[in-house]
């Protein structure tokens, strides 16, 4: 019987040694998932591919499904439909009732709070991973010593978790995950437990260690800066669905949802573009004169189609704010609104304007004083068409299908187990 969400960890099978050897023999290759997970009333539907050596950051708001994805990949929850493969190893396939339980998956997991054993010293915490896989005490400690040395932790080997810092604990947790020689590495909010100063140092070190890992890496995070710096690609989940994926530069340049736009600091508007005039009629009211790439149009138009569903991105710093109607201004986009809030950022002030369309505007602190900007006053906004970018709205198109990744010299997938009967 297949394990279900809410079953005890490891339900559906046990670590019998032979299964571990089979899994070890299938190590290596890309992670490919296409399936759904049902947890109560929540459903996650995810298609993703992570190539060997690639770092994929999974972003999303609270409740989006990031933790559900992590549980499915690690074997804590079974798929309701679809499959998960790691190279030749089929870890979960609902159609064939195949399921590799957590203890037999070649997966290293770094928990958000690290979960080090308080009664063990650093060396034995790291040695725990190979011990679970069946290694003897001497071999496990030898493996632990290797990773302690590689991560510059040898001097901490005899200390207990309460005697080391948060940054050191994060590195110990990573060493423990790597000591199991996994083919896939999962990191759950790896820096969230650290203070701001420590986070900067550990982030750079962690990225360096991940660069040396040969398998795919998934980082679950809510921090856009962490994702942008550490990942080769981003995958964004909202409401249990993958809404966007691409390189950090691609996602930042063309956000697909308001959530992503806010992460990267853009105003984002949905509307219909008239290519003949370059004007977008916005869904929430108002219009914008925009620029767009002609090569984008065939992807969303069809034979005889004249109006195109698009998203329009506009940087807050590209909008000028005025306390009177701008006279003789060259921008083609001018509209009126009311300031509702001001927020001090590091080197600027972000102003929220209720208008049609609404906008976030970035100005200097001196501009706030010079113009007397405050909540409740009326203002005019202006933006050049050349500062905008209109592009196809992926919400009106099917998300690209997952493409399998398989080297030419690698045979087809192999199964490693079946979900045990009740």
Task: Express each pLDDT in 325-363 by its tens digit.
Answer: 988 767 789 999 999 999 998 889 999 999 999 999 999
- What's residue 33's pLDDT? 97
- Give CA–CA dist 269/3, Å, rounded: 43
What is the rounded end-to-end Cα distance, in angstroms, of the chain? Answer: 5
- Give CA–CA dist 261/259, Å, rounded: 5
- Give CA–CA dist 359/378, Å, rounded: 13
Answer yes or no: is pLDDT of 410 > 50.
no
> Tokens at residue 216, please?
């795919």
- What's residue 419's pLDDT? 47
Q: What is the pLDDT of residues 10-62, one digit of tens each?
A: 434 333 333 444 444 455 699 999 999 999 899 999 999 999 999 999 999 99
Closest CA to 128 of 327, 214, 117, 328: 117
Answer yes or no: is pLDDT of 397 > 70.
no
pLDDT-derived band of residue 66, with 50, 70 and 90 as boundaries?
Answer: very high
- What's residue 115's pLDDT? 85
What percent of the chain stands above pLDDT 90?
A: 52
Is the Cβ–Cβ distance between 166 and 194 less than 8 Å?
yes
Closest CA to 176 of 221, 121, 228: 121
- What's residue 292's pLDDT? 87
The DSSP output letter for 126 is: H
CB under 8 A, 24+ apart: contacts of 254-262: 254/311, 254/313, 254/389, 254/391, 255/311, 255/313, 256/311, 256/393, 256/394, 256/395, 257/395, 259/60, 259/61, 260/59, 260/236, 261/313
Find all residues with CB under 8 Å of 342, minimum gap 6, and list them. Answer: 349, 350, 351, 352, 368, 373, 374, 375
- Give CA–CA dist 76/80, Å, rounded: 13
Find all residues with CB under 8 Å of 105, minimum gap 6, and list them. Answer: 23, 74, 75, 86, 91, 184
ω into 407 cis (within 30 of 0): no
The lowest-confidence range among 176-180, 222-226, 413-417 is: 413-417
User: Beta-carbon neighbour count of residue 213 at 10 Å?
Assistant: 19
Answer yes or no: is pLDDT of 298 > 50.
yes
Answer yes or no: is pLDDT of 166 > 90.
no
User: Beta-carbon neighbour count of residue 415 at 10 Å?
Assistant: 17
Answer yes or no: is pLDDT of 305 > 60.
no
Answer yes or no: is pLDDT of 134 > 90.
no
Mean confidence (pLDDT) of the chain: 83
Average pLDDT (161-187) is: 87
Element (H, E) at 86: strand 81-86
- What's residue 15's pLDDT? 35
- What's residue 27's pLDDT? 53
127 or 420, which is more confident: 127
- What's residue 233's pLDDT? 95
344 half-sphere exposure, CB direction, 13 A CA radius: 3
Is the Cβ–Cβ distance between 262 and 238 less than 8 Å?
no
- What's residue 173's pLDDT? 85
Quickly tell me which residue has 């949802």 as its tokens: 257
- Give CA–CA dist 156/104, Å, rounded: 30
- Give CA–CA dist 259/357, Å, rounded: 17
Average pLDDT (90-118) is: 90
Rg (CA), the chain: 25
Quickly tell me which residue has 């219009």 as its tokens: 287
- What's residue 7's pLDDT? 53
Average pLDDT (384-398) is: 82
Q: What is the pLDDT of residues 227-245, one digit of tens each?
A: 888 899 999 999 999 999 9
275 or 18, which is more confident: 275
What percent of the chain stands above pLDDT 70?
A: 82
User: Beta-carbon neighbour count of residue 128 at 10 Å?
Assistant: 18
């Amino acid at each position: 019987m297949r394990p279900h969400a809410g079953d005890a960890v490891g339900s559906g099978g046990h670590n019998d040694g032979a299964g571990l050897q089979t899994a070890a023999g299938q190590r290596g290759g890309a992670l490919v998932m296409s399936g759904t997970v049902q947890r109560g009333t929540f459903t996650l539907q995810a298609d993703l591919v992570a190539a060997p050596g690639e770092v994929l950051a999974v972003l999303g708001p609270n409740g989006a499904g990031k933790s559900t994805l992590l549980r499915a990949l690690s074997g804590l929850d079974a798929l309701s439909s679809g499959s998960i493969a790691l190279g030749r190893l089929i870890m979960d396939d609902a159609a064939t009732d195949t399921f590799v339980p957590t203890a037999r998956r070649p997966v290293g997991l770094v928990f958000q709070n690290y979960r080090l054993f308080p009664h063990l010293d650093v060396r034995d915490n790291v040695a725990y991973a190979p011990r679970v896989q069946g290694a003897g005490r001497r071999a496990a400690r030898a493996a632990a010593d290797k990773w302690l040395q590689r991560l510059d932790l040898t001097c901490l080997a005899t200390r207990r978790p309460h005697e080391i810092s948060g940054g050191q604990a994060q590195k110990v947790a990573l060493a423990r995950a790597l000591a199991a020689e996994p083919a896939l590495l999962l990191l759950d909010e790896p820096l969230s437990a650290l203070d701001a100063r420590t986070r900067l140092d550990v982030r750079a070190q962690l990225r360096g260690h991940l660069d040396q890992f040969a398998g795919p890496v998934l980082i679950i995070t809510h921090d856009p800066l962490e994702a942008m710096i550490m990942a080769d690609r981003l995958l964004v989940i909202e409401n249990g669905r993958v809404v966007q994926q691409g390189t950090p530069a691609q996602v930042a340049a063309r956000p697909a949802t308001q959530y992503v736009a806010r992460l990267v600091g853009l105003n984002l508007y949905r509307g219909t573009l008239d290519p003949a005039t370059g004007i977008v009629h916005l869904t929430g009211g108002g219009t914008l004169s925009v620029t767009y790439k002609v090569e984008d149009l065939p992807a969303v138009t069809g034979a005889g189609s004249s109006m195109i569903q698009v998203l329009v991105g506009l940087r807050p710093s590209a909008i000028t704010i005025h306390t009177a109607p701008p006279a003789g201004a060259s921008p083609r986009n001018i509209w009126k609104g009311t300031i509702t809030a001001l927020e001090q950022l590091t080197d600027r002030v972000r102003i929220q304007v209720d208008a049609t369309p609404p906008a976030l505007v970035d100005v200097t602190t001196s501009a706030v004083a010079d113009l007397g900007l405050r909540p409740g006053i009326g203002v005019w906004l202006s933006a050049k068409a050349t500062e905008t970018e209109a592009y196809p709205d992926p919400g009106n198109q099917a998300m690209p299908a997952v493409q399998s990744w398989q080297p030419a010299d690698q045979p087809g997938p192999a199964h490693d187990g079946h979900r045990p009967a009740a």
